[in-house]
């Protein structure tokens, strides 16, 4: 267990370091030379820094984030906040020590390139068990208590930062900053989804039981059996359905074509999967989903009569085939 925790910590630290370097390149290399803004806590820190440049930007970033982390510690959860504090410290260190010099006079180009770098960096950090953004923590808290969409909260906070900055910065720089924030969001979503891409596979085959058996027992890929009826023939035959990663899709295709070259296979792109098993949400959200699922199962569990015979496994879950644990 300790070895597994150490591996998770080292992997997360590596991702945080890579993401923080990209964020520092974006802010110190492309935004600060032109006095442009980013969103969230970093954007708030930049507004203060442009007015009081003697205060180190990295220090401002940490000081503004501290109250949010303290509040999140009691509301969101200890493990997530501790990972987030570690990510914020790494981020602040990169802001302090990574100072590239790019001689690019075009502010539009800086906003676009900086947004792409920052979005990629944020996406890498989001693949860990924490987040370096206090904005993300505020969004999680509001979502937890008021069911407000996380994306909407981020948008409102970024809009508030830009509105406040309009009193201190020329309007054209605010517009360039909006371009940066937009590009940041596009790059973040593209990279984050790309790192956790999922596909849905549907298989219609006369040899469905053989395909199911190999996918479950040999490949350990979860498959659901859907009841279906041919629209023309009227015959009843099952459909195998599975949500899989990119590597698993290749295995499913190979197994199906080997066992039944005449099988019908449909492979579809999926944007979002909410699941603690195969979902593509951030790791910290997967843990929350698993806890909620377990809580729901305990609340809805029906007490069993000790005198009644046990329910056969096939009857307890007749249509869902989960691969056995290794």
Q: How confident is the model at residue 306 (pLDDT cuts 50, 70, 90)?
A: low
Q: 198, 244 in Cβ contact below 8 A?
A: yes
Highest mean pLDDT pick, 45-54, 68-77, 180-189, 304-313? 45-54
Average pLDDT of span 216-235: 89
Average pLDDT of span 148-174: 85
Residue 287 pLDDT: 65
Average pLDDT of span 37-53: 92
Residue 307 pLDDT: 54
Closest of 48, 75, 262, 34 to residue 164, by C-alpha: 48
Percent of the chain with pLDDT over 90: 49
Q: Which residues make beta-bridge pairs with 270?
A: 198
Asked if pLDDT for residue 54 goes beyond 80, the answer is yes
Asked if pLDDT for residue 213 goes beyond 70, the answer is yes
Residue 313 pLDDT: 37
Average pLDDT of span 98-107: 92
Euclidean distance between CA atoms 293 and 272, whole angstroms: 18
SS (H, E, C) 212-260: HHHHHHHCCCCEEEECCECCCCCCECCEEEEEEEHHHHHHHHHHHHHHC
Asked if pLDDT for residue 302 goes beyond 80, the answer is no
Q: How confident is the model at residue 320 (pLDDT cuts 50, 70, 90)?
A: very low
pTM: 0.77
The Cα diameter of the chain in Å comes to 81
Per-residue pLDDT tens digits for 248-266 = 999 999 999 999 999 999 9
Q: 263, 205 in Cβ contact below 8 A?
A: yes
The CA–CA distances, whole Å, from 176 to 31, 41, 64, 106, 179 equal: 10, 18, 24, 11, 5
Per-residue pLDDT tens digits for 273-294 = 777 667 666 766 666 666 677 7
Q: Which residues make Cβ contacts (< 8 Å) with residue 42, sequence separation at least 6?
A: 23, 27, 61, 133
Average pLDDT of span 154-162: 86
Residue 104 pLDDT: 92
Q: Which residues make Cβ contacts (< 8 Å) with residue 273, sequence separation at least 6?
A: 198, 243, 279, 280, 281
List the domains of the chain with CATH numbers.
2-195 (no CATH), 197-300+314-326 (3.30.70.120)
Asked if pLDDT for residue 267 goes beyond 60, the answer is yes
Least confident range from 81-95, 137-151, 176-190: namely 137-151
Asked if pLDDT for residue 321 goes beyond 50, the answer is no
Of 117 and 40, the one with more pLDDT: 117
Asked if pLDDT for residue 310 goes beyond 50, the answer is no
Asked if pLDDT for residue 315 goes beyond 80, the answer is no
Residue 26 pLDDT: 96
Average pLDDT of span 178-204: 86
Asked if pLDDT for residue 124 goes beyond 70, the answer is yes
Asked if pLDDT for residue 316 goes beyond 50, the answer is no
Closest of 21, 46, 156, 209 to residue 99, by C-alpha: 21
């Amino acid at each position: 267990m300790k070895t597994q925790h150490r591996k998770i910590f080292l992997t997360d630290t590596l991702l945080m370091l890579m993401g923080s370097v990209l964020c520092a390149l974006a802010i110190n290399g492309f935004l600060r030379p032109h006095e442009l803004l980013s969103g969230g806590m970093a954007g708030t820190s930049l507004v203060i820094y442009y007015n009081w440049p003697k205060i180190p930007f990295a220090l401002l970033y940490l000081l503004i984030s501290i109250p949010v982390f303290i509040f999140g510690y009691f509301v969101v959860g200890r493990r997530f906040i501790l990972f987030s504090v570690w990510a914020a410290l790494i981020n602040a260190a990169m802001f302090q020590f990574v100072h590239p010099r790019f001689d690019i006079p075009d502010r539009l180009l800086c906003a676009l390139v900086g947004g792409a770098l920052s979005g990629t960096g944020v996406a890498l950090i989001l693949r860990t068990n924490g987040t370096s953004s206090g904005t993300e923590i505020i969004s999680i808290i509001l979502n937890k208590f008021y069911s407000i969409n996380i994306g909407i909260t981020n948008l409102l906070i970024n809009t508030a930062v830009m509105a406040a900055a309009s009193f201190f910065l020329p309007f054209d720089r605010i517009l360039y900053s909006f371009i940066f924030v937009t590009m940041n969001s596009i790059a973040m979503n593209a990279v984050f989804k790309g790192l956790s891409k999922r596909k849905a596979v549907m298989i219609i085959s006369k040899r469905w039981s053989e395909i199911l058996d190999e996918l479950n027992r040999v490949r350990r890929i979860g498959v659901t059996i859907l009841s279906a009826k041919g629209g023309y023939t009227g015959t009843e035959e099952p459909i195998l359905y599975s949500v899989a990663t990119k590597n698993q899709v290749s295995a499913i295709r190979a197994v199906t074509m080997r066992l039944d070259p005449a099988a019908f296979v449909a492979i579809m792109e999926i944007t979002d999967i909410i699941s603690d098993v195969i979902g593509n949400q951030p790791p910290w959200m997967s843990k929350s989903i698993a806890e909620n699922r377990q809580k729901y199962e305990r609340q809805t569990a029906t007490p069993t009569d000790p005198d009644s015979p046990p329910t056969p496994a096939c009857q307890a879950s007749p249509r869902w085939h989960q691969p056995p644990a290794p």
